[in-house]
Amino acid sequence: SSAGLSSYRVLVVGAPGVGKSSLVGQFMTSEYLHAYDTSIDVEHDVTDDESGERSVCVLLAGEESEITFLDAPPDHVITEGCAHGYCVVYSTADRSSFSEAERRLQILWAAGHTSRRAVILVGNKADLARSRAVPTDEGKNLATSYECKFIETSVGINHNVDELLVGLLTQIRLKQQHA
């Protein structure tokens, strides 16, 4: 609502159960980034509302930005509409979710989004070491082949969640400059 505040929309996509909602929930508590939930100020609740929308304000490099996360339903046409960024999430413990992520990257790549917008491949549940089904290198290689960023996270042990938020906003700002 303040003048000059940049607002960005990010679509969070991936197979059910990979931790999309958990990741967004964890972003809301990111003290390190002075992130705070803006949903309280507006009409919808902090917890999942019907639209699956949650907003957060992030202070990064002396500049504040608002990011609205949209939890896209599985059949959502992800290339439709205006999103500044995409988090394509899979579970490192679930092989089929990795295939699903590849399918999503393919769609984004074919639409030209991977070069013009912030796209990050996210391998979540990295804490589940004993049930790992997707090696880190495979995730890295997939991201490289689709020209997007890659990070492994764990909401469970709060590993790399702040880093994902920073990387996402950094990429969005970079792509905006070159738009």
> Residues in the site for ligand GDP, rule: CB under 6 A?
16-22, 124-125, 127-128, 154-156
Which amino acid belongs to residue 59? L
Nearer to ligand GDP, 128 or 133 (CB): 128
Nearer to ligand GDP, 16 or 112 (CB): 16
Nearer to ligand GDP, 18 or 101 (CB): 18
Q: Which of 48, 2, 19 is nearest to 155 (CA)?
A: 19
Q: Which of 164, 153, 123 is nearest to 141 (CA)?
A: 123
Nearer to ligand GDP, 127 or 138 (CB): 127
Give me the least distance between CB of 38 and ligand GDP, in Å please.
Answer: 20
Nearer to ligand GDP, 24 or 65 (CB): 24
Give me the least distance between CB of 179 and ligand GDP, in Å please.
Answer: 29
Which amino acid belongs to residue 174? L
Contact between 93 and 128 (Cβ < 8 Å): yes
Give me the least distance between CB of 19 and ligand GDP, in Å please.
Answer: 3
Give me the least distance between CB of 124 and ligand GDP, in Å please.
Answer: 5
Give me the least distance between CB of 157 and ligand GDP, in Å please.
Answer: 7
How far apart CA 143 and CA 149 sit, in angstroms, is 6
Which tokens in the block code for residue 107?
Answer: 């769609």
